[in-house]
Amino acid sequence: MSMEEKRTSRQSKRIIRKMVFILIGVAIAPMVLITGIILYRFNSFSHEIVHTHLEGLVLGNKHHIDFFLNEKLSNIRYLSRGFESELFRADSFLRERLKDLREEYNHDFVDLELIDEQGHQAAYAGPSGRGAYHGNTRWFKEAMKTRHYISDVIMGPNAQPLCIVTTKVQNENTRWILKAAVDFGSINSLVENLGAGKTGIAFIVNRQGDFQTQPSDKIKLTGQQYLNLFDKATNTRQVNDKFIIESASLKNDDWILILQQDIDEAFSGLIFSKNFAVLFFSLGSIGIILVCVMLFRRANMYISEAGSEKESAMTQKIIETGKLDSIGELASGIAHEINNPVAIMVEEAGWVQDLIHEGIDNNDNREEFMRALKQIETQGHRCKEMTRKLLTFGRKTDSRIENVQINDLIGEVVSLSSEKALLANVKIYTDLDPHLPEIQSSVTELQQVLSNIINNGLDAMENKGDRLDISSMFHEDHITITVRDNGPGIPAINLNRVFDPFFSTKPVGKGSGLGLSVCYSIIKKIGGKIDFESVVGEGSAFHIVLPLGNSSEQ
């Protein structure tokens, strides 16, 4: 190998190494950026979903408990207004009223009692004996201050949780209190069954920090400590990265209903989906790096052996290298485009996790579950189709002659370049002759020619918001393909160097200068012709003439 050939080989290796770094950077950088954005958005989405779920549980039961208490108070108020006040002094009358209430409201009422202003029992109906005195009780003192009153939960006979409901009964001379003891056991059961998952628990605390329902051994803090968490306006708290609590006020803000769940369980499904997304993007990045290294090592090996091969073999190696450069041009757009359906699949997977937690047969969850699975399937097919196109283009150049439909080939290349065109703010228009006959040529070589010329046009118009026109036309003995752009055009000083190897007008690091040289070699090899016209400030047009019949090496 001569000194000149050695120098050329070293220069080629440097170019290949630079292309490796550029391709890896172009392919990985968008994935890293998009992964970061998706993880940030996904983290916000997961917190919103969990908080919304817990808030829905708490608010639903808040309304149920408030309704229960207000209903019992309304029953007593209605009873006090519906009869003459003197009637309430008879035990028999209260027994009849208590019987009616218990039959109507599922035995929620335990007793009825008429109490005078000093706290002495005037009449009674219920399981306890007569003669009780309530003047020293807290609930009686509070009841005397207002017309209607609902007490905190107290423990009755046999450790039965009771809630005292009172209203005033008044005649001309005396004020009495009509008091009812309401069984709070059903509310206790409701609150105990409110917890979400294995670690979720619910309970009620009053404004003095006293538990109004039976505390569970899973409770992390004292009643007063829980109360102190809700001095601010928000109803949601995350404590010590260990558990999350949601609250709602009850009984005219006298009580707080609290739902508590461990962080690990609350976010388990969403954490799994997020980890899956990180793993997917990590494997994708590693795969891109490995593929780039393998491809360019192979190209480097070909160039190292170029000095001992014939001119035709050298041309074939340069074609392969140019094709790898085209893959680099497409990789960023394909990576960006494939991230969109992947992001949708990740979000739908998280939604499926939520539906599983809620129960698939709950409300309309089954239809939503099937819709989410269908969306994941649809986006998966999108990824599969984009990957197929890229793999087809990326396979080793095959010089075998076969029947080629030019319009179909143009459509595939345009599809591969569509994302790059979108990023460059360029619209691609096609005007294809529907009567083109098939020609015999190499599919992969023609594919590379069209890709190089289209990508050159897109690079020329990057961020200019212009258009790229592609047309095909059938003549008697050949087919003409024209690719026209509205870019800045080629200066006159460079017109004679357009097809020279390693000549490029792009900034350093954005092009190898092999694209048009490869196109010229391929078209010449199959017996066709390629030329161009360009006007500075108006754009350029490349014309590819392909012969009909069997295209062979010239």
528, 488: one domain: yes
| 185 domain-assigned | no
pLDDT at 346 over 90: no
Q: How confident is the model at residue 387 (pLDDT cuts 50, 70, 90)?
A: low
Q: Give the pLDDT score at 548.
A: 82
Q: Give the pLDDT score at 502.
A: 57
Q: How confident is the model at residue 151 (pLDDT cuts 50, 70, 90)?
A: very high
Lowest model confidence (mean pLDDT) among 178-187, 194-203, 466-475, 522-531: 194-203
pLDDT at 395 over 60: no
Average pLDDT, stretch 475-481?
A: 89
pLDDT at 96 over 80: yes
| 255 domain-assigned | yes
Q: Give the pLDDT score at 167.
A: 93
283, 337: one domain: yes
Average pLDDT, stretch 23-32?
A: 74
Looking at 233, 266, 299, the residue that finishes a domain is: 266
Q: Are strands 109-115 and 175-183 parallel, antiparallel or unpaired?
A: antiparallel
408, 482: one domain: yes
Q: What residue numbers bound the domain in which 45 lies?
A: 3-50+271-394
Query: Which residues have a Cβ under 8 Å from the Cβ of 509 and sit 6 or more positions away?
Result: 18, 22
Contact 205, 211 (CB under 8 A): yes
Looking at 266, 297, 314, the residue that finishes a domain is: 266
pLDDT at 425 over 90: no
Q: How confident is the model at residue 508 (pLDDT cuts 50, 70, 90)?
A: very low
| 103 domain-assigned | yes
| 75 domain-assigned | no
228, 334: one domain: no
89, 135: one domain: yes
Q: How confident is the model at residue 314 (pLDDT cuts 50, 70, 90)?
A: low
Helix (H), strand (E), coil (C) string for 474-503: ECCCEEEEEEEECCCCCCHHHHHHCCCCCC
Q: How confident is the model at residue 1 (pLDDT cuts 50, 70, 90)?
A: very low
Instruction: Quote the tokens at residue 275.
Output: 């980890």
Q: Give the pLDDT score at 233.
A: 47
| 62 domain-assigned | no
412, 528: one domain: yes
Q: Give the pLDDT score at 70.
A: 92
User: Residue 518: which of 387, 347, 397, 395 has the closest Cα?
Assistant: 397
Contact 335, 292 (CB under 8 A): no
Q: How confident is the model at residue 368 (pLDDT cuts 50, 70, 90)?
A: confident
In this structure, what CATH number is given to the domain that contains residue 111?
A: 3.30.450.20
pLDDT at 494 over 80: no
Range among 268-272, 298-302, 473-477, 548-552 rated most confident: 473-477
Displacement of CA 191 from its chain's centroid (Å): 33
Q: Could you give the CA distance from residue 238 to residue 389 in angstroms, rounded to a whole number?
A: 48
pLDDT at 2 over 50: no
Q: How many other C-beta atoms can be found within 10 angstroms of the C-beta atom of residue 304?
A: 15
| 65 domain-assigned | no
- Whole-model pTM? 0.47
Using a 10 angstrom Cβ sphere, with 0-12 exposed, 13-18 middle and 19 or more buried, the burial of residue 123 is buried
Average pLDDT, stretch 240-245?
A: 77
Q: Tell me how many domains the chain contains.
A: 4
- Looking at beta carbons, which pairs linking 43-47 to residues 24 or more positions away fall under 8 Å? 43/274, 45/270, 45/347, 45/350, 46/267, 46/270, 46/271, 46/274, 46/350, 47/267
| 59 domain-assigned | no
Lowest model confidence (mean pLDDT) among 93-97, 162-166, 381-385, 525-529: 381-385
Q: Are strands 243-250 and 236-239 parallel, antiparallel or unpaired?
A: antiparallel
516, 530: one domain: yes
In this structure, what CATH number is given to the domain that contains residue 520?
A: 3.30.565.10
87, 212: one domain: no
Q: Are strands 467-474 and 427-432 parallel, antiparallel or unpaired?
A: parallel
Average pLDDT, stretch 333-340?
A: 61
253, 340: one domain: no
Q: Give the pLDDT score at 552.
A: 44
pLDDT at 443 over 50: yes
Average pLDDT, stretch 291-315?
A: 63
Q: Could you give the CA distance from residue 156 to residue 164 in angstroms, rounded to a whole number?
A: 10
pLDDT at 316 over 60: no
Mean residue pLDDT across the chain: 78
| 29 domain-assigned | yes
Looking at 394, 414, 446, the residue that finishes a domain is: 394
Q: What percent of the chain has pLDDT over 90?
A: 15
Q: Give the pLDDT score at 311.
A: 47
492, 528: one domain: yes
295, 377: one domain: yes
Q: Could you give the CA distance from residue 99 to residue 318 in angstroms, rounded to a whole number?
A: 100
Identify the residue with better confidence: 126 or 7.
126
94, 125: one domain: yes
Average pLDDT, stretch 85-92?
A: 88
Q: How confident is the model at residue 303 (pLDDT cuts 50, 70, 90)?
A: low
